[in-house]
Structure 1
């Protein structure tokens, strides 16, 4: 498996562990619709949270969360709309980012950014 794929999987597992430890119920992981994949879909306090996990092994060009651009946000919003429709969810939704920055000694820094963005219409 390519190193960047393995890094992403490790980041998603760390994010899931963190979310569960802080009271989130994981509804789905790696849920896809059309061209979009939502890394983690969670539920807490009546809110469905769509979570993008970004993992990097360095931050020379920016923090991991900086790589969730407008295009990615629009893709996530389309997939989230479909998920909300399928689940007939009538409550609030939120978009979060979990950023995982790995160090060369295999330690990591995890940052959970709640309400990180609200996708803009095209």
Structure 2
């Protein structure tokens, strides 16, 4: 497996562990349905939370959150809609972002951004 894929898997594991330590229940990790995918689907306090995880080994090419473009947001929202329909879920929804940057010291810095974005208005 490519190094960037391994880094991404490690980041998603760190993110899931962080969420659980904060009282979230993980419903799914790496959920897929056709071409649609979600990194983490969690629940806390009656809210379903779709979490996008972005992991970088450094910020040489920009911050991890910069990779969450409008197109990426549209794909996440479309995937969330498919998830809600597939499981017939009727809960409030939130979209979070967890960024992880491993600095020169090798220690990851995790940042959890709640309500990182909202579904675009059509």
TM-score, structure 1 normalization: 0.94
Match of 1:64 in 2: 64
Q: Within 5 Å, which residues of 2 pair with 1:38-117?
A: 38-117=38-117
Match of 1:35 in 2: 35
Cα distance in structure 2, aligned partners of 1:117 and 1:33: 22
Where does the alignment leave 5 or more consecutive residues of structure 1 unmatched? none
Give the CA RMSD over aligned residues.
Answer: 1.2
Q: Would you say the 8 A contact 1:34–1:79 is kept in 2?
A: no
Question: What is the CA deviation profile of residues 63-111 of structure 1, one whole-angstrom value per residue up to 9, with x for unaligned ones?
Answer: 1111111111111111100111122222200000000001133211000
Where does the alignment leave 5 or more consecutive residues of structure 2 unmatched? none
Q: Would you say the 8 A contact 1:54–1:99 is kept in 2?
A: yes
Cα distance in structure 1, aligned partners of 2:35 and 2:105: 35
Following TM superposition, where does structure 1 have runs of at least 4 consecutive aligned residues deviating by more than 6 angstroms? none
